[in-house]
Structure 1
Amino acid sequence: MKSFLKIFFASFVALTIFSLLAIVIGFWILTSVLQPDKPQVGSKGVLVLDLNVAYNEQEKDNPLSALSGNESGNAPGLYDVVRMLHYAKTDSTIKGLYIKGGYNANGFASSEELRKAVVDFKESKKFVIAYGETLDQKSYYVSTAADKVYCHPQGGIDWDGFSVTLLFMKGLLDKLGVEPQVFYAGKFKSATEPFRFTKMSDPNRLQTTDMLNDLYATFLETTAQARKIDTATLHQLSIDGTIRTASDALANKLVDGLKYDDEVKDELIKKLNIKEADKINFVSLGKYAKAVNFKNSKGDDKIAIIYASGDIVGGKGQDGEIGSDNFVELIRKARLDDDVKAIVFRVNSPGGSSLASDAIWREITLAKKEKPVVVSMGDYAASGGYYISCNADSVFADASTITGSIGVFSLLPNMQKLFNDKLGITFDGVKTAPYADMGGINRPLTEPEKRFLQLSIDSIYSTFKQRVADGRKTDINFIDSIAQGHVYTGQRAISLRLVDRTGTLQDAVNCAARMAKSKSYWLKEYPEKKSFWEELTNVSSYTESASEKTIENKIGKDQYNMLQQVNKIKEMIKTPQSRLPFDLTVN
């Protein structure tokens, strides 16, 4: 027995030591693989702006992608891209910019900021070449800033105009025996229309048409200026369906040439003055971000940038959501930090929970009393997204930003017929008061309960309008006339005094510095980037992301968007929502 115990404990100690060594060695390997030395750009670099990559508000950093050598898992944030292009203007190792077209994964306002950054880069007199086998309209919009725009001889560009297609589920709900009990305030508040109608209402059709025309006008005007073609001619090309092939695009001067990939590379080789056998030094934005110090990290004063991106929800929220608890804390942290001289609040949100929006609005209001607060709107800052923006000292939006949508709604399904008639399920119970079971989905609301809910919605809507009136320093009757859930573009919102001026995030930062009377500043960005090990151990987010991408690839992007719309229904039930119309995907 004594001999057994000796062998057992000796083996146990050996195993423990071996395990500790394995952990240390594994840590060293992971650190060396996943946190490599600072990469070198090399000479005669060509920076690559890949429009197929979605540049979110903040950097997307997947440490596991380094193991597979797949850089696509690490995408810089939109503002990072803008700052990198500005830095590259004076970087002698970068000789030009290559815009990789195709399907532009970024929104209209994001594309607007990317295009302006390309225009800024061109001031360096370095070459800019855009190429794609096919170019969708958003991709072409950014590409028009290039010196030359090329497409594949058998490819082409999309020039059929813009469209919005909404999904309506009333017919399905009727067949299932589900009654959507809807309460809303604002005649343009169309987020609940998919449950109530089988087609767009006249007010919704009007506002969507205005929005689409504004976006299209910006697209045409920008193209007209870049390609030296008048807007009427460009519009007529889409009306007539003229652009069907790459040759059509060339004949109508929308592109500068039809080239295969090797021919485009030959042109780059000539511009770089290198040998034909030499490999072109393409520099991805992900690599460039790690190789150079493009951020403004030196200065006397600190300016905080707080990125609020995604649906607005109560509590802490998940990655990609604006959780009220988290963002109240972030804003409060910046407010109480005496070193922070101004706050830039970057909002990219279609809205969400009205209560969560009000909690964030409150903290913005408190911060505004202490230091300048400037809002910069991204692709969306609508409904709840506008709620949390309206009380800033100054509000910037891109011309293509979707904003407004000042309205409220609530949804509660009555599934009694589905349970009783379709499934054979019944319910029974007891209660201590008439309204103790109000809000259950197993029965219809009574008339008093419907009045209660509508009064609640009306009250929230009234508060929302008053918040806007106070923040924008205007009359509440005027706000009521332009509210009603009406959606506007950033350009149109200026004339309605909902937005102060058009401008990028950089313009908002410059404004905040002026308001703080700061001549020298550096930027602190929130939410702060997760540590290496926090990112590495967050396996669930990568698994979920990979699963979602697999589903999207299998069923197609449009079908996947519809699936997401249906999935959002559960988020709307019972909780009063300040949210954009159900879906505003522009094709």
Structure 2
Amino acid sequence: MKTFLKYTLASIVGVIIAFFIGIFIFFGVVGSIVSSSKDKTVKIKPNTILHIKLDKKIVDRASNNPMENFNFQAFKTENNLGLNDILQNIEAAKTDENIKGIYLDLTVINAGIASIEEIRNALLDFKKSNKFIVSYADYYTQSSYYLATVADTIYLNPEGIIELKGLHAELMFFKGALKKLDVEPQIIRHGKFKSAVEPFMLDKMSEANREQYNAFMGSIWDKFLKGISEQRNISIEDLTKYADNLSIRNPKSALKYKIIDGIRYKDEIISELKDRVNIKQNKKLKLISISKYKNVPKKPKHKHLVKNKIAIIYASGEINMGKGSDKTIGSEKLSSTIRKARLDSTIKAVVLRVNSPGGSALASEIIWREVCLTKKVKPVIASMGDVAASGGYYISCAADTIVASPNTITGSIGVFGLLWNGEKFLKNKLGITVDRVKTNKYADLGSMTRRMTAAERDIIQTSVEDIYDTFISHVAEGRNMTKEKVDEIGQGRVWSGENAKKIGLVDVFGGLNKAVEIAVEKANLEKYRIVSLPKQVDPFTQIMKQLQGDVATSIIRNKLGSEYKYYERIQELTRINGCQARMPFDIDIH
């Protein structure tokens, strides 16, 4: 008996010790991850070149979640940059005496077309400093080449590829797959262009959808050609001819038609950069990445802490009810953030940075209301990113001024409802039948196990029409138009920023910096500082949240890589609930 108790007690003590050791190791690992994610001050030496490599996905504001881009092999967080960081650092490099020029390394670029436009404009402004910009790539996509054209010199690998062929977009349709599965999409919509539901009811694009695609893609392509023409001194007619004939097939043809300035290997580029900054060839070239350069101490604009503030409120992702996340807009969190900015007397103006395809109509209405209330007491400027459409436009339309890139995708003023009928799927594919009991006639309205009745469809159609009427009324009020005019340009139609300005949906071309300039002017400020909202959660809390469930998402994202977007879109479908003010599609233009 004594032996039994001895071993039992030893086992219990062993378990307790192992538990505490495990806790110690766990917090040690968490501490290590948090420590690796913290920004460390970087010192910069004279004759340094800013190395801009845009191979990670560029978002408006990078998450401070250390687990989001954690490399388990290297056991460190791979720093992710937001567009705000990129723009601020290009601006800082312009006046930094230690930065002699910029090296654009553009083999891979992962950004939306409006974000590329903002970076391009920042680089054009940088050139006013008379510092050099050199671009090199093994492979130029059309987007990366458009960005590269701001450079003084463009180089391409001798065996590299450069694209100049025009834009194309592909839409996937699920009508046939749903038919085979015996799943019926029940669709209610308003607007002939509100084609969000077309993939579920058609097997090809409608003429109205094709019309809007041709219009906004043509507008974006024209902007590309104009920008390239201005910087490369090649006529738009010649560029169009090169694209139509696919004349740019290899580096030699690119050089022949003056699309590039030289054919070089990377070591030759490094050698040229050394010459540009007067470094001997046997010495190491001093390059600093933009992720490290953001940690270089910058000279403060003012000697003392400035009280007056401009708040940049970031609204990125699909619009849903609730708190949302770093990648989605939650009505509760965003409306609360706008409300706090309104009540904060030190915040003199608000820039609402919108990058959203829309989502829940009700969530959009809640956010819109807070924008309206804020507008009554201080200037509100909407800054549109890559996409600010449908619900994204809904929450922007009340702003005093709307700023967008010519390449922004916007509009899509329309509403739809989508309910699924899986009755035949359950019965024919799985052998499951459903019976029901209800206390009232419409108690099971919206059930996925039966088809809607004609009366139920009429009820939902009325709801969609009412929400659409509210939507266009808000736009008419915010944009000083008649409802009839908004309805004419609405109908769910998608517009490029270029076309949106012509029809009055946008006021000014520009990016986030332009929106801040307008906010400062309207608030009549001489001295101010920028605050970014909503406040980001500290890294430790982010990790704890990750361990509570988000870790599965991180694993899936890491495994799927660039294909994760398709998984994300399927997840978005499962979250559709109620009437939606959402973009008709997720746009991939190549």
Aligned to 1:500: 507
Structure 2 residues without counterparts, runs of 5 or longer: 1-5
Shift of 1:160: 1.4
Shift of 1:122: 1.3
Partner residue of 1:567 out of 565, 571, 574: 571
Aligned mates of 1:18, 1:373 — CA distance in 2: 53
Worse-superposed segment, 154-163 or 32-41: 32-41
1:486 equivalent to 2:493? Answer: yes
Aligned mates of 2:75, 2:247 — CA distance in 1: 39
Is this contact kept in 2: 1:387–1:464, CA < 8 A?
yes
Cα distance per residue 1:77-127 (max 9 Å; x no partner): 102211110111111221111111123210010000000111111111111
Aligned mates of 2:326, 2:40 — CA distance in 1: 28
Is this contact kept in 1: 2:398–2:474, CA < 8 A?
yes
Aligned mates of 2:447, 2:25 — CA distance in 1: 55
Aligned to 1:60, the other structure's residue is in SS state coil
1:177 equivalent to 2:185? Answer: no
Is this contact kept in 2: 1:391–1:468, CA < 8 A?
yes
Cα distance per residue 1:345-374 (max 9 Å; x no partner): 000001000000000000000001111111
Cα distance per residue 1:110-156 (max 9 Å; x no partner): 00000011111111111111111001111111110011111111112
Aligned to 1:457: 464
Worse-superposed segment, 63-72 or 99-108: 63-72
Partner residue of 1:57 out of 45, 55, 60: 60
Aligned mates of 2:299, 2:451 — CA distance in 1: 59
Aligned to 1:118: 123
1:404 equivalent to 2:408? Answer: no
Aligned to 2:332: 325
Shift of 1:566: 3.5
In the alignment, residue 210 of structure 2 is paired with which amino acid?
R
Aligned to 1:82: 87
In the alignment, residue 324 of structure 1 is paired with which amino acid?
S
Q: 1:21 to 1:176 in 2, by over 3 A?
A: closer
Aligned mates of 2:136, 2:175 — CA distance in 1: 43
Partner residue of 1:439 out of 437, 440, 446: 446
Q: 1:37 to 1:565 in 2, by over 3 A?
A: closer
Aligned to 2:555: 547
Aligned to 1:258: 263
Is this contact kept in 1: 2:479–2:505, CA < 8 A?
yes
Shift of 1:520: 0.8
Aligned to 1:525: 532
Aligned to 1:274: 279
Cα distance per residue 1:23-78 (max 9 Å; x no partner): 99878866765547412223322112112222211123353649866887212210
Aligned mates of 2:553, 2:394 — CA distance in 1: 29
Aligned mates of 1:36, 1:365 — CA distance in 2: 37
Aligned mates of 2:276, 2:15 — CA distance in 1: 66
Q: How many aligned residue pairs are there? A: 582
Structure 1 residues without counterparts, runs of 5 or longer: none
Aligned mates of 1:379, 1:294 — CA distance in 2: 31
Aligned mates of 2:310, 2:114 — CA distance in 1: 23
Aligned to 2:223: 218
Aligned to 2:588: 585
Aligned mates of 1:189, 1:122 — CA distance in 2: 42
Q: 1:492 to 1:13 in 2, by over 3 A?
A: closer
Q: 1:212 to 1:444 in 2, by over 3 A?
A: same
Shift of 1:396: 0.5
1:153-164 equivalence runs, <5 A = 153-164=158-169
1:327-346 equivalence runs, <5 A = 327-346=334-353
Is this contact kept in 1: 2:37–2:77, CA < 8 A?
no
Is this contact kept in 2: 1:301–1:340, CA < 8 A?
yes
Cα distance per residue 1:149-188 (max 9 Å; x no partner): 1111111211111011101000111111111110001110
Aligned to 2:138, the other structure's residue is in SS state strand
Aligned mates of 1:264, 1:62 — CA distance in 2: 36
Aligned to 2:3: none
Aligned mates of 1:504, 1:232 — CA distance in 2: 28
Partner residue of 1:48 out of 35, 51, 62: 51
Shift of 1:9: 13
Partner residue of 1:474 out of 460, 468, 481: 481
Cα distance per residue 1:554-586 (max 9 Å; x no partner): xxxx865444433332222x4211111122111
Q: 1:30 to 1:181 in 2, by over 3 A?
A: closer
Q: 1:370 to 1:122 in 2, by over 3 A?
A: same
Q: 1:151 to 1:14 in 2, by over 3 A?
A: closer
Aligned mates of 2:432, 2:282 — CA distance in 1: 74
Q: 1:278 to 1:363 in 2, by over 3 A?
A: same
Aligned mates of 1:488, 1:548 — CA distance in 2: 34
